[in-house]
A and B are shown apart, each in its own frame.
Chain A
Amino acid sequence: MTRRFSLLMLVTSIVLGSPTDLDAQIRASERGTVSQTVDGTTITVDYGRPQVRGRSDLFGGVVHWGEIWTPGANWATTLRVDRDVTVEGQALPAGTYSVWLEVLEGAWNAVLDPEPRRFHLMPPEESADQVRFSVQPITGDDEVEVLTWSFPRVKPTGTTLQLAWGTTVVTLEIRVQPSRPMTVAPDFAARYVGAYRLRHRPPLGEEEVRFDVQYEDEHLVASWESPPNPLFAEVWLISLGEGMFVPALLQDGEVFDLVMDLVFEFTPLEGESRGFEVRALGDELWGTATRVDEP
């Protein structure tokens, strides 16, 4: 009996892959890594990649209903975030977590466990330091042969992390902390709100145009008449401090780019603004603005 058990364990170890990491080894489920940076926060998933191999009963079959499954193979799938984020609305401190899914016939329960180094046969016990939330698997349009984690959507404020295997798809919405505040307080905004005449300088041209700064929904919104690029016709001004702002380009009311190489330097540093300079890379002066309304 003991000898038969030992043989069974040996075969199981060979088939499933030994917990010992070996670099040069053919594996049924090769390891893969995918990473995405969003506004300075890097999100990385490291996981084994099982294949469908003709099996039609992945969930409810290969993975039993009620099983606590790491969405990968062999060593648990890990999720690493180098800054605090939220996942499906749950706060997730910076760190590396093993990823587990309780696979059910309806919604699944996701568990992010602070111990990243776990073998797939050893799911964690429930504990207070885990992050738990519910996810709803859906049926995708395509059959995905190799289990795949990806980031199909990336926005300035976050990303969608997606698991796909067979026809099953699970998505997790991750939001990052903005590296710079997009909103400003009313009393701070009041120093800059006003009408300005902006004289372009080469290479922008040499004409004088209107440049209005307004305060809308906690944002400093700048309207640039005849901007050198239509994307700059209406931008948010994002404060760097010390009277400096960079333009945030907008699409459908959301920021999609901060142009860090074009700086609006308002003067004076204290009190109501009287004007500003437009400075480009190399500190080149691309425009000078004077306030034309009464502060």
Chain B
Amino acid sequence: MHKSADQSRRTLLAAAAFGMLGIVGTPRWKPARCRHVQVSGSHPDPRPGVDGSRVLTTEQLQDVPDLAPLYDGIRGIPHVADGVRCTCGCASEEGMRSLLSCFEGSGMAKGCIICQTEGRMVVRLHGAGRTLDQIRAAIDARFG
């Protein structure tokens, strides 16, 4: 009886977990412009003196409070996020020059799982001591 219940739980977890993988193609909450695209060319050069003052704050993220730590992480490393390209297809839009841009202004990363994944990777890898070139290489490997 216990085993059966455990199996049911596992089945449920598996369905949930791997269902999450399945939503990549058409998540309903994702903006139409946000989809992974293969980007050629080089990463942008970080602008000298760039800061994170335009990254959305917790007060501006009240509709998505779970994302506040990610935005805080990006705000803390603007010189890194500004040297990484975004692969969600937004790069050709006006005002979008780097991954940092996705967390500024309208904060498009709020609704874009690609930006969120890239952002978390950049914060995590920088925290692990990776250089900007190493982070770029990891982003290219993951999203190239």
Contacts and interface: CB of A to CB of B under 8 A. Distances in A.
A203 B13 contact: yes
B120 A283 contact: yes
Closest 9 pairs (CB-CB, A-B): A283-B120, A241-B141, A228-B14, A242-B141, A203-B17, A240-B141, A242-B138, A261-B21, A283-B117
Given A240-B141, A241-B141, A244-B142, A282 B17 contact: no
Task: Identify which of A203, A241, A262, A269 gathers the most chain B CB atoms within 10 Å of its CB.
Answer: A203
A228 B137 contact: no
Nearest to A239: B141
Interface in A125-146: none
B142 A203 contact: no
Interface string B130-141: 000010011011
Given A228-B18, A241-B141, A283-B121, 9 more contacts: A204-B14, A228-B14, A229-B17, A261-B24, A262-B21, A280-B17, A282-B116, A282-B120, A283-B117
B16 A281 contact: no
A149 interface: no
Contact of A203 (B16, B113, B141): B16
A73 interface: no
B124 interface: yes
B102 to A, nearest CB: 14
Contacts of A241: 137, 140-141, 144
Given A242-B138, A244-B141, A261-B24, A228 B121 contact: no
Nearest to A202: B13
Interface size grouping (class) on chain B: 20 to 34
A229 B142 CA distance: 23
A280 B113 CA distance: 11
B15 to A, nearest CB: 9
Contact of A281 (B14, B117, B141): B117
B116 A205 contact: no
Contacts of A261: 21, 24
Task: Identify which of B17, B24, B134, B140 gathers the most chain A CB atoms within 10 Å of its CB.
Answer: B17
A202 B45 CA distance: 37
11 contacts: A228-B10, A229-B17, A241-B140, A244-B138, A261-B24, A263-B142, A281-B20, A282-B113, A282-B117, A282-B120, A286-B17
A91 to B, nearest CB: 24
Contacts of A202: 13
B69 to A, nearest CB: 12
Interface string B91-122: 00000000000000000000001001100110
Interface in A208-259: 228-229, 240-242, 244, 259
Contacts of A229: 14, 17-18
Contacts of B24: 260-261, 281
Contacts of B138: 242, 244
A204 B17 contact: yes
A228 B13 contact: yes
B13 A204 contact: yes
A202 B14 CA distance: 10
A282 B23 CA distance: 12
Nearest to A242: B141
A269 to B, nearest CB: 8
B136 to A, nearest CB: 10
Contacts of A240: 141-142, 144
A242 B137 contact: yes
B80 to A, nearest CB: 15
A220 to B, nearest CB: 16
Interface in A154-171: none
A199 to B, nearest CB: 15
A286 B16 CA distance: 13
B9 to A, nearest CB: 8
A281 B134 CA distance: 20
